[in-house]
Amino acid sequence: MTETARRIEIEEPIAFIDLQAQRRRLGERIDEAMARVLAHGQFIMGPEVRELEDRLGAFCGAKHAIACASGTDALLLALMAEGIGPGDAVFVPAFAFVATAEMAALAGATPVFVDVLPDTFNMDPESLDAAIGVAEGLGLRPRAVIPVDLFGQPADYGRIGAIADKHGLTVVADAAQSFGAALNGRRVGTLGAYTATSFFPAKPLGCYGDGGAVFTDDDEKAEILRSLRVHGKGLEKYDNVRVGLNSRLDTLQAAILIEKLTILEDEIEARNVVARRYTAALADIVKVPKVIDGVRSVWAQYTIQIDDGDRARARLKAAGVPTAVYYPKPLHQQTAYEDFPVAAGGLAVSERLSRSVLSLPMHPYLEKATQNCVVTAVREAVLG
Ligand SMILES: *Cc1c(COP(=O)(O)O)cnc(C)c1O
């Protein structure tokens, strides 16, 4: 047993994400907020939903925030509001969570896979350009691009936006991992025509179940989104003007999120402190994540790259350090997606990253002493 393992064994196990620490910090506030909802009993579209939407919009600077049932639904709602469907190409990164490509396919469009950059994990603008050519060659209409802000860092919306403008693509930002982040002083929520985020418990702003939201500055699209999330309703409840879905955020979850939003800024700062410590302590032995100029990341994950990831991961586990691999298989190699088109030039970076990424424990309450144990264990696992 290594020195680190021995130290860890006598103390508390290290958490990959410690949600209980946040609960202790918020104390009674969430219980009281939930009790208020139980007392008024408006479980569906109660007053807390609108209050949360107003606060989310004010926080990120978006004109409209439309709460919904999950981050996955938020993506689908944006594509539906834009009328995307059969014959349309939607450009998505190959190295990401499945929901992005999945919702493009579910909307009836064709997801076209784009490669990512090796140091930020986010969509490669040159590969996007190459993918648009492929889609046109197949007779598809290029309609939308969904950059994913992987691990909490906004994608390069400057360069992606320029390509999107040139080809008339709508930018739908998948900000499931990046709510609270900023690019050149602008918060995530305003970087695309639509921004979809998730309140899954482990995301930087998470609730106690499933939840999500769509942001837009467009008044007309905001109305359509509000209609789509309640069965395509018109002015009256039993007036159905379009095909929609049931995708409301529960009032209870909204009440929880109102409390959590008050400490998000502070938590983002704490995550940045943790990330800086990792980078200072590990940059000499592994490839550490790069943050592009003008970005403030929310560090949903701190992800390093190691050649022999499996071996390092096993050694870390033996030392009591939990890690995760996001994502072990690129989407274009998944059974359900292997027949969809890919960018000209291939997806070599996505394929390589899926074999070398390793995410370390990351949350705002990771104490310095605990983090030192993680760092020591990583150094032993890589060098030993
Ligand atoms: C979590 C996540 C989603 C889906 O969010 P859910 O709320 O779980 O539906 C979509 N995209 C990315 C990049 C995610 O990380």
Could you tell me if the CB of 275 is within 6 A of ligand 1?
A: no
Amino acid 1: pLDDT: 46
Relative to the CA of 210, which ligand 1 atom is closest? 7
Could you tell me if the CB of 97 is within 6 A of ligand 1?
A: yes
Task: Report how far ligand 1's centroid is from the alpha carbon of 69 (Å).
Answer: 11
Could you tell me if the CB of 96 is within 6 A of ligand 1?
A: yes
CA dihedral angle for residue 346, residue 347, residue 348, residue 354, rounded to 10 degrees? -160
Closest protein CA for atom 6 of ligand 1: 71
The CA distances from residue 287 to 119, 280, 323, in Å, are 8, 12, 16
CA distance 379 to 282: 8
Amino acid 273: pLDDT: 98
Task: Report how far ligand 1's centroid is from the alpha carbon of 175 (Å).
Answer: 8
If residue 14 lies in a helix (H) or strand (E), which one and from where to where?
none
The CB density around residue 375, as the number of other CB atoms within 10 Å, is: 18
34 touches 40 (CB < 8 A): no
Residue 327: asked if its preceding bond is cis (omega within 30°), the reply is: yes
Could you tell me if the CB of 195 is within 6 A of ligand 1?
A: no
Tokens of residue 319, six digits: 């030392």
Task: Report how far ligand 1's centroid is from the alpha carbon of 252 (Å).
Answer: 20
Could you tell me if the CB of 350 is within 6 A of ligand 1?
A: no
The helix-helix angle for 19-26 and 251-261 (nearest 10°) equals 80
Could you tell me if the CB of 77 is within 6 A of ligand 1?
A: no
Total H helices, total E strands in the chain: 14, 12
Amino acid 5: pLDDT: 52
CA dihedral angle for residue 249, residue 251, residue 256, residue 260, rounded to 10 degrees? 60
The CB density around residue 159, as the number of other CB atoms within 10 Å, is: 15
Q: Is 77 helix (H, G, I), strand (E, B) or coil?
A: helix
Burial 270-309 (b: 16+ CB within 10 A, else e): bbbebbebbeebbeeebbbbebbeebbbbbbbbbbbbeeb
CA distance 329 to 338: 12
Beta strands in 69-190 (DSSP E): 88-93, 110-114, 141-145, 170-174, 182-183, 186-187
Please list the ranges in the chain whose pLDDT falls under 70.
1-11
If residue 196 lies in a helix (H) or strand (E), which one and from where to where?
strand 194-198
DSSP string, 284-344: TTSBPPP--TTEE---S-EEEE-TTHHHHHHHHHHTT---B-S-SS-GGGSGGGTTS-B-T
Q: Is 22 helix (H, G, I), strand (E, B) or coil?
A: helix
The distance of Cα 341 from the centroid of its chain, to the nearest Å, equals: 24
64-68, strands of its sheet edge to edge: 64-68, 212-216, 194-198, 170-174, 141-145, 88-93, 110-114
Task: Report how far ligand 1's centroid is from the alpha carbon of 2 (Å).
Answer: 37
Relative to the CA of 177, which ligand 1 atom is closest? 15
DSSP string, 342-363: B-TT--HHHHHHHHHEEEEP--
Could you tell me if the CB of 177 is within 6 A of ligand 1?
A: yes
Tokens of residue 122, six digits: 């986010």
Domains of the chain: 3-16+265-383 (3.90.1150.10), 25-261 (3.40.640.10)
Pocket test for ligand 1, best of 121, 149, 177, 298 (most atoms within 8 A of CB): 177
Relative to the CA of 70, which ligand 1 atom is closest? 7
Task: Report how far ligand 1's centroid is from the alpha carbon of 74 (Å).
Answer: 9
